[in-house]
A and B are shown apart, each in its own frame.
Chain A
């Protein structure tokens, strides 16, 4: 598939800035939570921990491990070795989208902690999954691939 055009090298850099993106994201997470709550043998704490872990797992995979983009861009393969997080807003830090994506897992963690009554087992699960999505977002980690143990210099 070909994508881009109109001066846009790589749509991955900007589609999260689209109108209604944040609302859609929150609705998506809420939907996931409601589905989990609807499962008869999941209690409220289990549902919240699962929501958090699933959300963070998906975020970890799609934002921080998968590289490149699913279309043929105009960037001559510049993004071939970059995760989606690195591509957002062409690598600029502290943009609105990046702040939003950082705040969401933290809020989810706080909510999950509240609904699990600060239980130790739930805390460990939730906290580990939170760390897995926050550490790759630290600005220092930009373009350093922690998990493949290789550093790519551009």
Chain B
């Protein structure tokens, strides 16, 4: 045995066949089993990946027969609510400015997100009309596909990037889709996103679309965030190979739409550096309202913009136009513009560009904010916010939630009833009473089945720079008078 380990001693064919007869039993058993496996594999039915297995005619008929169309609004379902605001629209019959005409009544507006009241600014209107005359209404295509009108879009992007002292900006055609498609253009399957549980619906949709692993930390609870980050660090140490390709993101809002709170940016920036996460900040509300010159949450805390990897915002609030924007380094922003291979931002690449007249309007609004009048308006807004926090907080049975400097505040019940529906109905009644007294309020609406962290029913109050002290006191008075009696 072992003789053939000696070089050049190869067995002849005859020797080989003789060897079969002398083969040990275990060997024959192993080979026998293997051969059975081979035959089983060969005679087993193959699965053909190209086979699509078309349905037979009968199967098709059965499927069609089975299908029962459902009504869009199932009237018999328990979730059907005839008082739902969507079924009872309040129609506005005028331009939305400081005042607006709701159902024929002139009301003071504390419900729309026009913090600097630029809807009534003549320079914005003139710029839009001029652009309309030059370019028409639509942009006729996505940005990379004939949609870039003249220099309007490019010029606005340059101005915005300069205003926020970032390398580059890109323009989206709809505020909601900005963050909702910016997040999935970076974060992918196998990446991890840490997000505040109080983020708005657009961000939640972006998180879902990214297919990443999402870890929500309790709203503005930095200790919980730290806990989650440490947990992730432990996981990464256990599996360094996977950690190498896993990217970690942190998503917060400058001012939270659902609560009116400011994010704890200084601590967040600290944690970002410590744990090397990529920070995405949505400045939808804080842009144009916070900081001395309206540059947002970063200016408010005196932190350079470069501490965030990506900042998104909307043109629909402070700039009173339509659309959204992303700013960051050229490297970050370019990633959204290139198309293909799941890297690009769907909201940017595959939507028609922002109509030029809206971009021109936003540009004029930005110029206004940069002017001395704009700075004065922002100062006035801040003063109004602080005053409103004091005046509007004094409503019996209700409390005002939100940061003092935030232009968005939520008025909600101190003691909530068990049934959220009762609370929202009471608030709806309050809105109607206030409307009769000449103040347009709105209750905050949410997609109840899908929101990860449903805020309690509330009336969302929006402060604008156009209000004067008398207006704020008048709103406070109307709030007190229209508030539901105890026991509702």
Contact = CB atoms under 8 A, between A and B. Distances in A.
B292 interface: no
Contacts of A115: 11, 16
A77 B19 CA distance: 52
Interface string B158-201: 00000000000000000000000000000011100000000000
B52 to A, nearest CB: 13
A45 B49 CA distance: 39
A111 B31 CA distance: 10
Interface string B210-222: 0100000000000
Interface stretch (B33-41, B300-308, B450-458): B33-41
Interface in A95-134: 95-96, 99, 102-103, 106-107, 109-110, 113-121, 123, 127
Interface residues of B, number: 42
A86 interface: no
Interface residues of A, number: 45
A145 to B, nearest CB: 11
B75 interface: no
Contacts of B22: 117-118
Given A46-B4, A107-B38, A127-B30, A2 B341 contact: yes
Contacts of A41: 7-8
B27 A92 contact: no
Contacts of A93: 47
Given A76-B342, A81-B242, A123 B46 contact: no
A17 B19 CA distance: 38
B189 A78 contact: yes
Contacts, number: 107
- Residue from A2, A40, A42, A80 whose CB has the most chain B CB atoms within 10 Å: A80
Contacts of B341: 2, 4, 72, 74
A3 to B, nearest CB: 9
Contacts of A44: 4, 10-11
B5 interface: yes
Please classify the interface of chain A as helix (H, G, I), strand (E, B), loop, or mixed, using the class held by over half of its residues: helix
Contacts of B48: 95-96
A98 to B, nearest CB: 9
A46 B10 CA distance: 9
Nearest to B44: A94
B122 interface: no
A113 B189 CA distance: 46
Interface in A53-109: 72, 74, 76-78, 80-81, 89-90, 92-96, 99, 102-103, 106-107, 109
B49 A92 contact: yes
Top 8 A-B pairs, shortest CB-CB distance: A117-B19, A44-B10, A118-B23, A41-B7, A89-B49, A43-B10, A76-B189, A77-B189
Given A76-B342, A110-B31, A119-B4, 6 more contacts: A41-B8, A46-B5, A80-B245, A94-B44, A117-B16, A118-B22
